[in-house]
Amino acid sequence: MVRQIRLDQIDDVMADVVQKLVQRTTLRWTELSNNATPVDTGNLRNAWQTDIQKFKGTIINNVEYAEPVIYGTSLPPSWQGRYRTRQQTIKGFPELQAKQLTTQYIPNELRKIIRSM
């Protein structure tokens, strides 16, 4: 059965859809980042923080060595100019995850949210 929505309700319905999509996508991206983060002591993996607001989701990692490990930039002198992790992590994995989320996950989740209404 198709849900009937009055014109004056469209903005509320769409706001609800976007909020759910932001929440689901932010939580999924946090999960992907956790799984992709290499582990030595577990400090870097455990430092992921997720902040979900009405229309905005943020994932951050404040560990001082997060940038070289995650993005391969600002490498410490001990790395001698070479990106390397024990688990052969792909540098820049958040961008690869964003592409996957944008092209696959978000459209699928949007369909699920709309169908459930």
Global pTM? 0.84
Residue with tokens 């400090």: 43
54 pLDDT exceeds 70? yes
CA 96, CA 34: separation in Å to the nearest integer? 14
Query: In this predicted structure, which of 9-13, 48-52, 77-81, 111-115 has the lowest mean pLDDT?
Result: 77-81
Structure tokens at 58: 């943020």
Structure tokens at 102: 């944008």
User: For helices 93-100 and 10-36, what crossing angle results, to 10°?
Assistant: 140
pLDDT of residue 1: 59
